[in-house]
Structure 1
Amino acid sequence: MNKETHRMTTEATPEQPAQQRLPRTLTRDLNHHDGQTVRLQGFVHARRDLGGVQFVVLRDVSGVTQCVGKGLNLPLAESSVEVTGTVKAHPKAPGGFEVQISEFRVISAAVEASPVEIPKMEWNVNPETMLDYRVVTVRGLKERAALKVQAELVAAFRDHLMTEGFTEISTPKIVSAGAEGGANLFPIDYFGQGAYLAQSPQLYKQIMVGVFERVFEVAPVYRAEEHATSRHLNEYLSLDVEMGFIEDEEDVMSLENRLLASIMTRLKATSQAEFDLLGATIPDVPAHIPRISLFDARALVTEKYGHQVGGKDLDPEAERLLCQHYAETEGSDFVFVTKYPRAARPFYAHPDSNADGSLSSEITRGFDLLFRGIEITSGGQRIHDHAMLMDSIAAYKLNPESLSGYTEVFKYGMPPHGGFAIGAERLTAKLLGISNVRYARAFPRDRHRLTP
């Protein structure tokens, strides 16, 4: 090989002036450059040497491609490199094209071998090791595909709500009291004063209904729950919505129905490749997601499947069976469970109406949305009347003084309102068939994990 025309080195060399260099080409665009010389930049995803011919699988933000050369002093996997070469069609190469290397430059060499061989990673093989080395394993094709889908999901969430007149807000994550009561709060020292990490923006987004009428927030929330399951995180991304001047919770469910349909339409347009990589299917959202009351849902799974439901809510098996029923009978991956009892809902849940028009003391206008066997949403109509709210706080044996910053606004004409919250990681995991929600977050926090 003529070294004057084929410079191949692992030494970082001074970059050429910008006007003399080829523009960077992404691997996904190689099909537009057949027979042309291109310049790629990315990471050494994999490498092998076969009888003097060297193969480098280069990974960039858009995908992977095979690069072929000779006489290369290849760096360790995950080194960042630059390849210049000629694009040639090749039926067995990723994407149907490979690059025949004329110039190879190491931009930044890995100083030690990766603790995990990224091309061979599997989520069901030693998952703790994959999470321990997340700074590297998050680079995997499947790992980043899940995060890319989540980014598109969040973008679609924002875009649709803005088309319906919602305003994005930002609420405090250091609070003096919990939004839902209970003990699942992380205490912190706030300049010598007791405070907590916010478990929900619920109270603030209700206050902001009095400002913008329709609001949403995308932000982390914190739950000090000692779960060790595949469906729980102690820090997760919450997609919160609240809307004013509603008739009842049906307006809120209808909004979520439209929102989910819009999100799935966006994912079909932007993320089909990621779904294909993970062997997942983007669901169709019915024009009217089925509804069933909690009481009837419990009866259905008992009568049809023989499953006895304990507690005041649906247990995980009951959620799975209920979704199975609606998938089989109505072809829907989604089902709203409605009319939750007061004991299963927070103090601000609005009571439901009895047949005579009076308000129930036992049933609320709260709902959950189940998707493919798991709850992804909790929502409902909220109490907007000040006297009713104070009575509810007393009934829940909460300290009204600790909630005074919230309850004050209800003295000033708050409209009927309601909303919901979606856990972004849980929805992402169920969409993509990921068995553990921790893989739907770049750097998960569970009860045992504070790093990386």
Structure 2
Amino acid sequence: MSLADLRTHYTAAINPEEIGDEKVTIAGWVHEVRDLGGICFVVVRDRTGRGQVTLVKKKIDKELFDTARKLVRESVVSVTGTAKPEGKAPNGYEIIPDEIKLLNESQSPLPMDTTGKVEAELDTRLDSRFIDLRREQTTAVFNIRHEVLRAVRDFLTDSGFLETSSPKVVATATEGGTSLFPITYFDREAFLNQSPQLFKQILMSGGLDRVFEIGPIFRAEEHDTRRHLNEATSIDIEASFCDHFDVMVILEDMVAYVYEQVIENASASLEALGVELQVPKTPFMRLTYDDAIEVVNSKGGDMLAWGDDLGTAAEHTIGEHVFKETGESHYFIIDWPTEIKPFYAMPYEDNPLLSKGFDMMHRTMELSSGAQRIHIPELLVSRIESQGLDPEGFEFYLKAFRYGMPPHAGWGIGCERLVMTMLGVDNIRDVVLFPRDRRRLSP
């Protein structure tokens, strides 16, 4: 049995006026069967949409008609026939079948409804993700996620970046702290990597100049919120002979390009979700940390002191302030206190209390964090020690700084949060195929 025997066209690719009397074969899942006695409609669903198969009892073989009306929803079929224009049918055509092949019959009842007529809780959907993915809205999310990652790769490649991959099993914490998943690596302790940061910087010493990576990161944080995951997909860049302002421009231009490409290439998926996108205007607003603290404190409520990190409530307050000022949802917070940024963030030479670090924000949450990095080995060792870490544990990393490390800067942005905020999704687990959080390890 060849592919041509099972499918010649996706459902969305059939145009009866172009095909004429040529036979077509579609393959997919039985989305719906409507048996009206003298006429039977079978709606077949594939990745691109739906195709209607129409059988009139008086005009078709009795055995074929009986086969169609007995089909069980979500069974897998291949249908061969002639496509005819039909304005009321999905995609504007119907197929008059010559043959219906039942390739795999589904059990009944289904774990959940796939038609959208009965809503299911998110946990129910995730428990049966294979069924949930057959829903139009779920498929739409992952079509859009694909377009997001494709646009990221195209933009960064066209901007002179090389795609790289870093290890996910490491001997040392990337940023210190305890939010790590320990594993046994033969006879040694190791960790799942929480960031490609140190390896990106080593590549700058190697002269690769501009690199990016799209890959998993792991954080053993005990968050149980709608915007946190323990395994996420991070988009990271590092660029030599750049400062933090240079890479901020790359980041905002990339985000705007991603929106443009999703609007252009995923219009059907956006329509299925009822989402209308607008491309963010660049440059994004730059708000200093000091100004951000002032905005929060001016609104009353819990007051923040200089040096405090920004919690969820503060981020929302600042986001709403920026939206009212600019009408835009994306902005930067710059000039963070050095002590609350990672050890590799470069302090300002004329004011070491402030770092050349930044966060790119959506008005609902943080999307990205970045900085110009310390490239001077003595200063880097000092910063590692100031955060209570042992430089000896970072020897593999520090070695790269002793033999000619250029000035460099970079950032990381969470793919899931980017998609989540783009689509206005309420729970981050909705934009991950098989999410990993505190409670979910299967499927």
The structure 2 residue matched to 1:138, chosen from 103, 123, 133, is 133
AA aligned opposite 1:51 = G
AA aligned opposite 1:28 = A
- Is this contact kept in 1: 2:176–2:389, CA < 8 A? yes
Deviations 1:252-308 (A, max 9, x none): 1011122112222221221111111111132312231111012211211332x4353
Question: Using the alignment, how far apart are the partners of 2:293 and 2:108 within structure 1?
Answer: 55
Shift of 1:344: 2.2
Deviations 1:283-335 (A, max 9, x none): 312231111012211211332x4353558222223222322232332122210
Shift of 1:16: 8.3
Q: Cα RMSD over matched residues?
A: 2.1
Residues 307, 420 of structure 1: CA spacing in aligned structure 2 closer, same or farther, 3 A cutoff?
A: farther
Specify the alignment match of 1:76 in structure 2. Answer: 72
- Is this contact kept in 1: 2:174–2:197, CA < 8 A? yes
Q: Does 1:451 align with 2:437?
A: no
Specify the alignment match of 2:358 in structure 1. Answer: 367
Shift of 1:147: 1.2
Aligned-partner SS, 2:14: helix
Q: Does 1:399 align with 2:354?
A: no
Specify the alignment match of 1:416 in structure 2. Answer: 407
The structure 1 residue matched to 2:293, chosen from 294, 298, 307, is 298
Specify the alignment match of 1:56 in structure 2. Answer: 42
Specify the alignment match of 2:333 in structure 1. Answer: 337
- Is this contact kept in 1: 2:183–2:191, CA < 8 A? yes
The structure 2 residue matched to 1:245, chosen from 235, 238, 241, is 241
Q: Could you tell which deviates more after superposition, 277-286 or 45-54?
A: 45-54
Question: Using the alignment, how far apart are the partners of 2:290 and 2:180 within structure 1?
Answer: 30
Residues 184, 87 of structure 1: CA spacing in aligned structure 2 closer, same or farther, 3 A cutoff?
A: same
The structure 2 residue matched to 1:65, chosen from 51, 65, 75, is 51
The structure 1 residue matched to 2:166, chosen from 160, 167, 171, is 171
Specify the alignment match of 1:271 in structure 2. Answer: 266
AA aligned opposite 2:88 = K
- Is this contact kept in 2: 1:82–1:105, CA < 8 A? yes
Unaligned stretches of 5+ residues in structure 1: 1-14
Q: Does 1:223 align with 2:219?
A: yes
- Is this contact kept in 1: 2:82–2:97, CA < 8 A? yes
AA aligned opposite 1:53 = I
- Is this contact kept in 1: 2:296–2:304, CA < 8 A? no
AA aligned opposite 2:313 = E
1:165-244 aligned within 5 A: 165-211=160-206, 212-244=208-240
Identity, % of aligned positions: 38
- Is this contact kept in 2: 1:338–1:368, CA < 8 A? yes
Shift of 1:102: 3.1
- Is this contact kept in 2: 1:338–1:366, CA < 8 A? yes
Unaligned stretches of 5+ residues in structure 2: 56-64
Specify the alignment match of 2:302 in structure 1. Answer: 308
Question: Using the alignment, how far apart are the partners of 1:17 and 1:233 within structure 2?
Answer: 39
Specify the alignment match of 1:127 in structure 2. Answer: 122
Question: Using the alignment, how far apart are the partners of 2:409 and 2:301 within structure 1?
Answer: 32
Aligned-partner SS, 1:119: coil
Question: Using the alignment, how far apart are the partners of 2:176 and 2:30 within structure 1?
Answer: 50
AA aligned opposite 2:11 = T
Deviations 1:322-351 (A, max 9, x none): 222323321222101111112321111111
Residues 372, 282 of structure 1: CA spacing in aligned structure 2 closer, same or farther, 3 A cutoff?
A: farther
Q: Could you tell which deviates more after superposition, 166-175 or 316-325?
A: 316-325
Q: What TM-score do the two structures reach when normalised by structure 2?
A: 0.91
Deviations 1:114-147 (A, max 9, x none): 2011112777x42111111112212321112111
Aligned-partner SS, 2:360: strand
Residues 372, 98 of structure 1: CA spacing in aligned structure 2 closer, same or farther, 3 A cutoff?
A: farther
Q: How many residues align?
A: 428
Specify the alignment match of 1:26 in structure 2. Answer: 10
Question: Using the alignment, how far apart are the partners of 2:357 and 2:34 within structure 1?
Answer: 58
Question: Using the alignment, how far apart are the partners of 1:131 and 1:188 within structure 2?
Answer: 26
Deviations 1:34-93 (A, max 9, x none): 764421111112223223432222111211222222432533222211112332333332
Aligned-partner SS, 2:124: helix
Aligned-partner SS, 1:118: coil
Residues 214, 103 of structure 1: CA spacing in aligned structure 2 closer, same or farther, 3 A cutoff?
A: same
Question: Using the alignment, how far apart are the partners of 1:408 and 1:32 within structure 2?
Answer: 66
Q: What TM-score do the two structures reach when normalised by structure 1?
A: 0.89
Shift of 1:220: 0.4
Question: Using the alignment, how far apart are the partners of 2:28 and 2:73 within structure 1?
Answer: 11
The structure 1 residue matched to 2:112, chosen from 96, 110, 116, is 116
Residues 121, 323 of structure 1: CA spacing in aligned structure 2 closer, same or farther, 3 A cutoff?
A: farther
AA aligned opposite 2:188 = Q
Residues 33, 439 of structure 1: CA spacing in aligned structure 2 closer, same or farther, 3 A cutoff?
A: farther
